Structure 1
């Protein structure tokens, strides 16, 4: 319902002003409604934060707490063992542990080779997938993602069989070519692990890059074609700059994952214990310190040091790529 009122303007000209009735005024949101809305949003986010606290924050805090203690044994083992506060002794021991830092350097050098190769193949696959119709791309996208969906232990056992010098099918292929190849030798072990990791994670990284490509407006590519750019020029000069953020993200995840290598070296150790030693990777060394040597406190200190190394490596990688982007 609208009411009208006629009044005289200052110049004497009559004007008509309409006023909305009380029933048509916008309804104001009460503070109680805003509180309920905020509680609803917190309810949806609660499972994630609860899982994050229980699976990440709590173990990290517990490891940090355990790293400040050590187990002391009395003389001749008669008095048993006691837990004593050691301060930063375990951290100082870890900083001076040459075997630990050699394993960290080993996996970082491996990451400098394997991560660019894997991301390069993922980018090529994403660019090729972007050139086909979406219905066809959806089928190939699911097929490329299957290796990532297989559990890591199953993947390791499968490739362990393929690499086997006695039972693996690859042995017959190289034998027919007149070559004897041992994938578990010291010279080919990192190649074997890198091939396994590339096969398992290339589809996941491709999916992230492909998603970034789908977010780019198609008009940008059409304008480049109108200007006479070839598909190769469009891929190199137009598409790649748009997916640089996705490449930085996947690169950081790959570096962190490389520092956490455990399943593959542990399985390969069963086939080649003389090559894959107990301190071959940082996580493998931490595992053996905790469960073979039962030195949980020192293993906790090494875990904290490894987390710091992963954080520094990710920060340096992000800073370098961000500087290149500017």
Structure 2
């Protein structure tokens, strides 16, 4: 009898635990399905469909399955391919520069050599707290030759520099991204540095290691996971460039509707009324972000295994 009662109590306990787990996890599962899985599924369906007009097109057209035609259309569009080339340049040039700056700032703050460290950390993070569209408008005003104090100062020095010129505007966007995200990445890297035991640094200094050696040989290898995460997020952010070029379009003719892949998605889905190609391009961007993220994380795991 005691055994039966104990078994029933154990079953009731497991049932309550399972119910509590679903109560905690349920909202996350629902949000994941509504805002990630379902939109992705709809994008996949839309990417293989097209609307064929008949007659005068007054009937709204007929939805038909077109297979990979939408993917073929976007991946053979020279303007869209140029957009992918631009975000590739951002990933190759801007992301390393930003990561070096963020890592240097985090190491500097962690060293304790900065006076009023908390104030400087807050100031470094403030650019990220400014909404992206507002920040882009501010930078657009700073870049516009007619009103920019920077351009006016350069002109007074005899240099007629145009930040919105066709061959310069991409680097201007890189500068905006670096300004907005360096402080954010610095906070993540600094938090990782703070989790490293201080005893390791003290032991290294007792052995005669300089501050530079401690940073290079001890601190950086121990925060590789944090660095990998920030690099992965930055790469994804490069592929998702939208707000900055979209705002700067109103300041210059150097940016068109295909300037970046995300801008092309918006243009195809709204102004051009082509939801199928827009969905196909969205799926391609998502797959690229997934592959690049997996590559960065795999490289991180291999680096950790070699240590």
Do the two structures share a fold, i.e. TM-score over 0.5?
A: yes
The answer to whether the Cα contact below 8 Å between 2:108 and 2:114 also exists between their aligned partners in 1 is no
Deviation at 1:33, TM superposition (A): 2.9
Deviation at 1:196, TM superposition (A): 0.6
Instruction: Give me the whole-angstrom Cα distance separating, in 2, the residues matched to 1:97 and 1:170.
Output: 37
The answer to whether the Cα contact below 8 Å between 2:225 and 2:300 also exists between their aligned partners in 1 is no
Number of the residue aligned with 1:224: 204
TM-score normalised by the chain length of structure 2: 0.90
Instruction: Give me the whole-angstrom Cα distance separating, in 2, the residues matched to 1:136 and 1:261.
Output: 34
Deviation at 1:183, TM superposition (A): 0.6
1:78/1:53 Cα in 2 relative to 1: closer, same or farther (>3 Å)? closer
Instruction: Give me the whole-angstrom Cα distance separating, in 2, the residues matched to 1:306 and 1:169.
Output: 37
Number of the residue aligned with 1:233: 213
Deviation at 1:187, TM superposition (A): 2.1
Instruction: Give me the whole-angstrom Cα distance separating, in 2, the residues matched to 1:212 and 1:76.
Output: 63
Number of the residue aligned with 2:172: 192
Which of residues 16, 24, 28 is equivalent to 1:36? 16
The answer to whether the Cα contact below 8 Å between 1:205 and 1:250 also exists between their aligned partners in 2 is yes
Deviation at 1:234, TM superposition (A): 0.6
1:291/1:29 Cα in 2 relative to 1: closer, same or farther (>3 Å)? same
Q: Does 1:153 align with 2:110?
A: no
Per-residue displacement from partner, 1:218-262 (whole Å, max 9, x unpaired)?
Answer: 000000000001111111111111111111111111111110100
Number of the residue aligned with 2:48: 68
Deviation at 1:79, TM superposition (A): 5.2
Gapped runs of 5+ residues in structure 1?
Answer: 1-27
1:278/1:129 Cα in 2 relative to 1: closer, same or farther (>3 Å)? same
Instruction: Give me the whole-angstrom Cα distance separating, in 1, the residues matched to 2:208 and 2:134.
Output: 49
Equivalent positions of 1:109-120 (< 5 A) are: 109-120=89-100
Which of residues 141, 145, 155 is equivalent to 1:165? 145
Number of the residue aligned with 1:291: 270
What is the alpha-carbon root mean square deviation over aligned residues?
A: 2.2
Deviation at 1:321, TM superposition (A): 4.5
Which one is further off, 129-138 or 296-305? Answer: 129-138
Deviation at 1:268, TM superposition (A): 1.0
Number of the residue aligned with 1:91: 71
Deviation at 1:110, TM superposition (A): 1.9
Task: Give the secondary structure class of the aligned counterpart of 1:124.
Answer: helix
Per-residue displacement from partner, 1:83-104 (whole Å, max 9, x unpaired)?
Answer: 2222222223233333322211
Number of the residue aligned with 1:308: 287
Q: Which aligned runs of 4 or more in structure 1 are off by greater than 6 angstroms?
A: none
Specify which structure has the bigger relative contact order, considering alpha-carbon pairs within 8 angstroms and separated by 6 or more residues.
2
Q: Which is richer in strand?
A: 1
Q: Which is richer in helix?
A: 2
